[in-house]
Amino acid sequence: MNLFEAIETRRSVRKYLKEAVPRAVMEKALQAALLAPNSSNLQPWEFYWVTSAEKKARLVTACLDQATAATAAELVVFVARTDTWRRNRKLILDVLHQRGNPAKQQLDYYQKIVPLFYTHGWLGVTGLLKRLVFPIVGWFRPVPRGPFSRTRLQGMLNKTVALACENFMLAITAQGYSTCPMEGFDEQRVKRILGLGREATITMVISVGKEDPAGIYGARLRLDPKLFVFEV
């Protein structure tokens, strides 16, 4: 199906049939997720496709035993990372140099601007300085107003990972299977299952499977577009 058909067809499915999802379908959707736009192209994400039966059972419990998790053929955990930007920045710079003669603007961005955004310093001191200085500069010219803290940075990166989640779900839909994005889970338990530390944030867990007709809870409901869409 084309993009608009996938958007129209995609629904959050709360119950799946006992049918396997081909590995090729999952791999193709995960590749689509990796192609999502992201903050500074730093790709601050990790996708955990949980195939271990033991870990999957624990993950279902951590997802509050929701039917969409318990009946899913596959479960994928989408994670935002605040600590991989240095590694990924170096890899990007290496590629730019391999391609030959990177523009000064590119180098300045990754060597100067990116650290300014992602570094918050010991006990958040650098973030505090940015919180004080940026608004003053903003009186005279447009400036970014954050992130000034690790929490704000997590919020920014979760937006990036959510874009990957949408790519993934649409790619699954386009291949004839269904998904459900879950925010109802115990994050600490999910992180323990995956062996993740404090620099990781669970953006969402997505279930995948073949739709059970009973897994769609009614017709799609959307409110009047005039409440949300504005031309200014």
Same domain, 10 and 37: yes
What's the CA gap between 110 and 86, in Å, rounded?
Answer: 10
39 and 160 Cβ atoms separated by less than 8 Å: yes
Per-residue buried b or exposed e for 203-227, using 16+ beta carbons within 10 Å of the residue's own CB: bbbbbbbbbbeebeeeeeeeeeeee
What's the CA gap between 44 and 120, in Å, rounded?
Answer: 17
Is residue 96 a part of any domain in this protein?
yes
Same domain, 199 and 173: yes
What's the CA gap between 39 and 144, in Å, rounded?
Answer: 14
Per-residue buried b or exposed e for 130-168, using 16+ beta carbons within 10 Å of the residue's own CB: bbeeeeeeeeeeeeeeebbeeeebbebbbebbbbbbebb
Same domain, 136 and 90: yes
Same domain, 77 and 91: no
Is residue 209 a part of any domain in this protein?
yes
Same domain, 38 and 66: yes
* Cα Rg of the chain, angstroms: 20
Is residue 230 a part of any domain in this protein?
no
Q: Give how many domains the chain has, as a whole number.
A: 2
Say what the pLDDT of residue 134 is: 78
Is residue 60 a part of any domain in this protein?
yes
Same domain, 173 and 70: yes
15: its two tokens: 């119950």
Same domain, 50 and 140: no
Task: Find where tokens 């918050």 sit.
Answer: 120
pLDDT digits (tens, 9 = 90+) for 132-177: 787 888 888 887 777 878 888 999 999 999 999 999 999 999 999 9
Is residue 229 a part of any domain in this protein?
no
Is residue 95 a part of any domain in this protein?
yes
49 and 76 Cβ atoms separated by less than 8 Å: yes
Same domain, 36 and 71: yes
- State which residues form the domain around 28: 3-81+160-215
Is residue 155 a part of any domain in this protein?
no
67: its two tokens: 């039917």
pLDDT digits (tens, 9 = 90+) for 19-78: 999 999 999 999 999 999 999 999 999 999 999 999 999 999 999 999 999 999 999 999
Same domain, 67 and 167: yes
Task: Find where tokens 């601007």 sit.
Answer: 113
Does an H or E element contain 26, and which?
A: helix 23-34
Say what the pLDDT of residue 138 is: 85
Is residue 225 a part of any domain in this protein?
no
Residue 91 pLDDT exceeds 90: yes
Residue 219 pLDDT exceeds 90: yes
Same domain, 115 and 183: no
What's the CA gap between 64 and 67, in Å, rounded?
Answer: 9
Say what the pLDDT of residue 225 is: 97
